[in-house]
Amino acid sequence: MNHRNRTRYSPRRTALLVAAAATLLAGGVAHAADAWPSRPVRIVVPYGPGGAVDVATRKVAQMLSTQTGQSFVVENKPGATGTIGVSQVARAPADGYTLVANDTTYSLLPHIFKKLPFDPAADLQPVTAFIFAPMALAVAADSPYRTLDDLVARARAKPDSVTYGSGGAGTTPHFAAEGLARATGVKFMHVPFKGAAEATQAVLGKVIDFQFASTTGLMGPAQGGQLRLLAVSGAKRLAVLPDVPTFAQAGVKDFGVVNWTGLWAPKGTPPEVTERLQREVAKAMASEEMQTFATKMGAEPRAADAAEFGRILADSNVMWGNVARSIGYDAK
């Protein structure tokens, strides 16, 4: 056998080859991350269409599609207070092509479920938050309740006679309504639906008396004359709703619930991808189009990066944990 052409490998040559391969591999991974998105990105909304999360996410997805030249597709996966859609994304590949959108309700989940089908800390990572909107109490435009006082007086006179709807037990609107009941010393009757938009339709159809929701989801029918907003959270009236008092002005102090929308990715998603996503969302929120959209919805038009979003989540977790315990709803 001729051994002349057999390649000879020295330890030094082997080390150099390994180092070169590692460099090429790292370069390939970095290039793949830098190239994100190179195919459509799926954003799961774990509630039905038409609610605040859906409306805000679809608008941001539209902007991201325009900015990146790649499709950002929103899919609604409602059920079980959003946990069905969230758990699907928690099990998805950590490559940046499957994301989940949610709102303040995400902070409530550990307090209303003894066991979740996913681990919020181990399975998902917060990426960015956007569209910070106050909560509002809405009734049908021809409702007999002209003011918040009217509604509270009726509930005080006949406990459980005044009904309200939400996108499900344990959602932010559910807890906000129970917080109002506690603050005013009354009892409302809760009627859960699959999403906030269904609750809105129930208000319009006189199936229920009122609902709590983010102004993002209510502004359309409110400005269209179908709904009447009795009060909004926050320190001052909204410029787009100058005739609607704050809860403090309507007689309920310290009711400052704000609903934010955010995006999460499966844990382990490359930082190059999440950082690009943060930049693109921040760019979108800084645009005149998104500034106008958010302002018309009565929302604060800004974006929070992962670090700030993490702090918001921690603060929300503490706040809603206190509310859950105060109304006897804490799962722990």
Reading phi first (left if > 0) and then psi (alpha if -120 to 50, else beta), residue 330 is in beta
Beta strand pairing status for 98-103 and 258-266? antiparallel
Whole-angstrom distance, CA of residue 13 vs CA of residue 66: 48
- Nearest-CA neighbor of 292 among 245, 240, 256? 240
pLDDT band per the 50, 70, 90 thresholds, residue 29: very low
Please compute the mean of the pLDDT values over residues 130-158 and round it to a whole number. 96
Identical fold, 41-133+258-327 and 138-250: yes
Third-level CATH fold of 138-250: D-Maltodextrin-Binding Protein; domain 2 (3.40.190)
Length of the chain, in residues: 332
Third-level CATH fold of 41-133+258-327: D-Maltodextrin-Binding Protein; domain 2 (3.40.190)
Domain boundaries, the chain: 41-133+258-327, 138-250
Cβ proximity of 250 and 231 under 8 Å: yes
pTM of the model as a whole: 0.80
Apex CA 285: angle with CA 275 and CA 62, to 5°?
85
Q: What is the DSSP string of 119-179?
A: -HHHHEEEEEEEEEEEEEEEEETT-S--SHHHHHHHHHHSTT-SEEEESSTTSHHHHHHHH
pLDDT score recorded for residue 257: 82
pLDDT band per the 50, 70, 90 thresholds, residue 23: very low
Cβ proximity of 330 and 321 under 8 Å: yes
Unique residue bearing structure tokens 């319009």: 204
Q: Phi/psi of residue 184, each to 5°?
A: -105, -5
Report which of residues 24 and 284 the model is more confident about: 284
pLDDT score recorded for residue 34: 57
Q: Which of 46-50, 188-192, 324-328 has the highest mean pLDDT?
A: 188-192
- Nearest-CA neighbor of 81 among 187, 198, 193? 193
- Cα 95 to Cα 43, 181, 205, 216: the distances in Å are 13, 44, 44, 30
Each residue's pLDDT tens digit, 202-236: 999 999 999 999 998 899 999 999 999 999 998 88
In this predicted structure, the answer to whether residue 18 has a pLDDT above a threshold of 70 is no
Range name among 47-51, 285-289, 302-306 with the lowest pLDDT average: 47-51
